[in-house]
């Protein structure tokens, strides 16, 4: 018989409320065609904000760009973060300090500053205002998160399974596909989700390196002051892939190794 946990419901309700409250505020804002101070709710609901966001065409293009950039950045961060995290977790480096510092550096410096530093080089390399340039720029902040989140994936349990795979004839690639990644599925899913979200919501780097490539944060921000209803409508576009990513990550993470 399972024990009753008296605080489960209040905690769960509070957590849901904390999550739902800003979402509800966003929905009301996105569909509030007429909303005058000091009313708590709009006087009239409608689709003006959605129409404006769709009609401009900017939201659709920004959505595609943001998705492409976030997916590519996440994939690259996983590929590069995996060996980096492994080297750190398995203590293969005699002095891991410099690598840790290198990983943490972009997190300590404001992203706009990092982007400004990169812009000159990117212009000279022909990467400014390009999707590839934005992916590389986003990678500077996404990679540290992904690498640090992947650290717990490596340990004796994974090593044991990989050794087993070696002695049954599995080469490095098959070990990675059939053993290492499935064994650390939950950690990889969490790292991928966070990596995606960091890239998806990136403003400072996108503005400094790829101002000419519209991404959702870039497109949305001017409307925040001028027309909050349109900004809220764009934010709804912003949310959809995030929910999809969250769903995919939680499904992947739930599967037993």
Partner 1 sequence: MILRRVSLEVPSGSRTALVGPSGAGKTTLLRAIAGLEPIEGGRLDLGGHHLNGVPPHKRRVAFVFQEPRLLPNFDVIDNVAFGLRAAGGRRGERRARAAELLNEVGLAALAGRCVQGLSTGEQQRVALARALCSGPDLLLLDEPLAAVDPNRREGLRRLIVKIQEQRALTTILVTHDRAEAAELGQRVALMLEGRIIQHDEPETLFERPASPAVARFFGTPNLLRGHVIAGLLQVGDLALPVEGADGEAAFVIRPERIRIREQGSLRAEVREAAYLGSHVRLKLHCNQLVLEAHVPSDEAPSVGMEVGVELPEEYLWRLSEATGEPALAEAWDR
Interface with partner 1 (CB under 8 A): 160-161, 163-171, 174-175, 178-179, 182-183, 255-257
Q: 30 vs 188, which CB is nearer to partner 1?
A: 188
Contact predicate 199/138, CB 8 Å: yes
SS3 letters across 208-221: HHHCCCCCHHHHHH
The β-bridge relationship of strands 44-45 and 32-34 is antiparallel
Distance in angstroms between the alpha carbons of the first and the last residue of the chain: 28
- What is the per-residue DSSP string for 43-108? SEE-SHHHHHHHHHSHHHHHHHHHHHHHHHHHHHHHHHHHHHHHHHHTT-SS--HHHHHHHHHHHH
Shortest reach from residue 177's CB to partner 1, in Å: 10
DSSP 32: E
Secondary structure class of 34 (helix, strand, coil): strand
Q: 93 vs 123, which CB is nearer to partner 1?
A: 93
Q: 45 vs 86, which CB is nearer to partner 1?
A: 86
Shortest reach from residue 175's CB to partner 1, in Å: 8
Q: 120 vs 168, which CB is nearer to partner 1?
A: 168
Shortest reach from residue 151's CB to partner 1, in Å: 22
Shortest reach from residue 169's CB to partner 1, in Å: 5
Rounded CA separation 95/74 (Å): 27
Shortest reach from residue 90's CB to partner 1, in Å: 15
Q: 62 vs 165, which CB is nearer to partner 1?
A: 165
Q: 44 vs 255, which CB is nearer to partner 1?
A: 255
DSSP 33: E
Shortest reach from residue 250's CB to partner 1, in Å: 17
Element (H, E) at 35: none
DSSP 177: I
């Amino acid at each position: 018989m399972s024990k009753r946990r008296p605080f489960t419901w209040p905690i769960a309700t509070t957590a849901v409320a904390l999550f739902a409250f800003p979402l509800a505020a966003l929905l009301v804002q996105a569909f509030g065609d007429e909303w005058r101070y000091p009313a708590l709710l709009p006087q009239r609901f409608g689709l003006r904000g959605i129409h404006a966001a769709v009609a401009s065409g900017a939201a659709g293009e920004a959505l595609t760009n943001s998705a492409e950039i976030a997916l590519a950045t996440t994939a690259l961060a996983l590929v590069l973060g995996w060996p980096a995290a492994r080297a750190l977790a398995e203590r293969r480096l005699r002095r891991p300090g410099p690598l840790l510092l290198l990983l943490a550096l972009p997190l300590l410096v404001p992203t706009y500053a990092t982007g400004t530093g990169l812009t000159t080089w990117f212009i000279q390399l022909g990467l400014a205002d390009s999707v590839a340039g934005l992916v590389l720029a986003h990678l500077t902040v996404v990679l540290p998160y992904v690498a640090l989140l992947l650290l717990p994936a490596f340990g004796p349990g994974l090593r044991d399974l990989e050794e087993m795979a070696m002695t049954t004839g599995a080469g490095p690639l098959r070990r990675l596909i059939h053993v290492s990644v499935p064994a650390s599925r939950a950690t990889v899913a969490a790292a991928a989700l966070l990596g995606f979200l960091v890239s998806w919501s990136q403003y400072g780097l996108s503005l400094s390196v790829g101002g000419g490539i519209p991404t959702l944060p870039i497109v949305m921000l001017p409307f925040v002051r001028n027309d909050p209803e349109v900004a809220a409508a764009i934010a709804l576009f912003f949310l959809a892939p995030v929910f999809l990513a969250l769903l995919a990550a939680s499904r992947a993470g739930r599967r037993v190794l």
